[in-house]
Amino acid sequence: MKVYLIRHGQTEANRRGIYYDEDYDLNLVGRLQARRARRKLTGKAFDVVISSPLLRAKRTAEIVNGGRAEIVFDERLRERDMRKLAGRKMMTTNRVQIWDYYSGRYDDECESVAELFQRVAEFIEELKGRDYDAVVVVAHSGICKGFSAYFEGIGDGKFLLRGARNCEVREFEL
């Protein structure tokens, strides 16, 4: 099975560099990015689009899909729950430690990297049992990091730079 993994388009929170404290929609740049991602999938068949239920991912999924397939929503594709960090500027935190699998430093303030990656692994394992030739998955940077951990391993545990840019399309084979 071919999996096309797409991070949602840009939001105002992305642009401002803050951890989400509400469910942001795409901004104009994000909608344009989603249209570009749709063009990248031109000529590629897919059976279903599976999306995070958060608005930014839902809107990206709708644009990318363009009415070609059913869109289903899966709670396991939600972004990492940043809990106490929500609303803070990213530059005021140690993002390297926040995304260090082994650190545990921020576990009392947000969902742990290990918990997030477990959700992603469960999603991928279930997906393997489905009878699809190709799927589009629309989610978040943290979910992209989880896909990286699943397919490339944990390695040194440093995941800050293993996410994806807004509307970047990655391909995986299950």
Cα distance between residue 149 and residue 159, in whole Å? 8
Cα distance between residue 174 and residue 153, in whole Å? 15
Q: Which listed residue (12, 79, 122, 140) is catalytic? A: 79
User: Residues near 172 by Cβ (< 8 Å), separated by ≥ 6?
Assistant: 2, 3, 5, 147, 151
Element spanning 148, H or E: helix 141-152
Q: What three-state secondary structure class fits 5?
A: strand
Q: Is 8 left (phi over 0), alpha (psi -120 to 50) or beta?
A: beta
| 79 catalytic residue (yes or no) | yes
Q: Which listed residue (8, 12, 126, 152) is catalytic? A: 8
19, with CB counted inside 10 A (0-12, 13-18, 19+), is buried
| 8 catalytic residue (yes or no) | yes
Catalytic residues: 8, 79
